[in-house]
Amino acid sequence: MDGRSDIREFLVSRRARLTPQAAGLPDFGGRRRVPGLRREEVALLAGMSVEYYVRLERGNAKGVSQAVLDGISRALQLDDAEHAHLGELVRAANPGVRSPRGSRSAPQQVSPGVRRLLDAMSGVPAIVQNGRLDILAANALAAVLFSDVDLSPTAGPNFARFVFTQPAAQRFYRDWEDAAHQTVALLRAETGRAPYDRVLAQLVDELSAESAAFRVMWAAHDVREHRTGIKLVRHPVVGDLDLAYEGMQLSNDRALLLIAYTAEAGSRSQDGLQMLASWTATNEGTEPVPR
């Protein structure tokens, strides 16, 4: 990853989406040569000189303080994920400064205790994944829910690779476009946290080579955190499921998330999960997922 260009492209993309009206600036009419805010307008809103902001947007992040980052975040109306991402990019661009997860490329493992916890959640699909969206562990119900994704431990299952390279993903996600945007935004955020992760860089290169849609979405520089939300999926057996998910950091490895999926009580989605759970309890390890 190129830290200087990442800062430049991220800041340019954020100010391009913000109009003067949305930023509370007067509109004097006339033709604007750039989409969104001009550099001098960002500097004005952030309370700094134009020269200083231009230097930062060009990728020179040496000596940038937290107060400056906070000012720019307010000016560009960054959300929490974007604000954190900007901070990570700046830290990565400063020589000798790396974030705690900056060089993570070694294989990650799930502890026996966490595996027992997954198995005990027999009525709830649950997985453990890392920031690259590798699926490191899954309980039996999750394996049935994500039956189109190869969850075998030797296959190196990865949600991003599934979304952008497997035709089954278009059937599985009822709103594939939204799922794809979220996937790219999660990977983009991870590049800020782990700019020296070679495996992550290889994954981005692979997806860029294989998917035009990924290349377009990657260029948008959108970021997000994987904490909570709704997944709209279509299972080949039980049909449409609306699943709420919660992501929880594991205390023994904060780079890993345990993600559990639930359905609203009394809903058709809950009935579908219960049907899958019943089949799983009866046939675990003895029969393939029904079709």
Per DSSP, what are the bridge partners of residue 243? 231
Residues in contact with 56: Cβ distance below 8 Å, sequence separation at least 6, in sequence order = 7, 11, 64, 68, 72
Question: Span 234-248, mean pLDDT?
Answer: 95
For position 52, what pLDDT does the model report?
A: 94
For position 3, what pLDDT does the model report?
A: 73
Listed residue (132, 153, 156) closest to 255, CA to CA = 132
For the stretch 141-189, pLDDT in tens is 999 999 888 655 544 689 999 999 999 999 999 999 999 999 999 999 9
For position 201, what pLDDT does the model report?
A: 94
Per DSSP, what are the bridge partners of residue 222? none
For position 155, what pLDDT does the model report?
A: 47
Share of the chain above pLDDT 70, in %: 87
For position 253, what pLDDT does the model report?
A: 65
pLDDT at 237 over 70: yes
Residues in contact with 260: Cβ distance below 8 Å, sequence separation at least 6, in sequence order = 121, 124, 125, 126, 245, 246, 248
At 264, the pLDDT band (50, 70, 90 cuts) reads: very high
pLDDT at 39 over 90: yes
Q: Is 181 exposed, middle or buried (0-12, 13-18, 19+ CB in 10 A)?
A: middle
For the stretch 66-113, pLDDT in tens is 999 999 999 999 999 999 999 999 988 876 555 545 455 556 788 899
At 1, the pLDDT band (50, 70, 90 cuts) reads: low
What's the rounded Cα separation, in Å, for the pair 53 and 43? 6
pTM of the model: 0.86
Q: How far is CA 216 from CA 113, 185, 274, in A?
A: 40, 12, 39
Question: What structural domains does the chain harbor?
Answer: 3-93 (1.10.260.40), 112-283 (3.30.450.180)
The least confident of 23-27, 160-164, 209-213 is 23-27
For position 4, what pLDDT does the model report?
A: 83
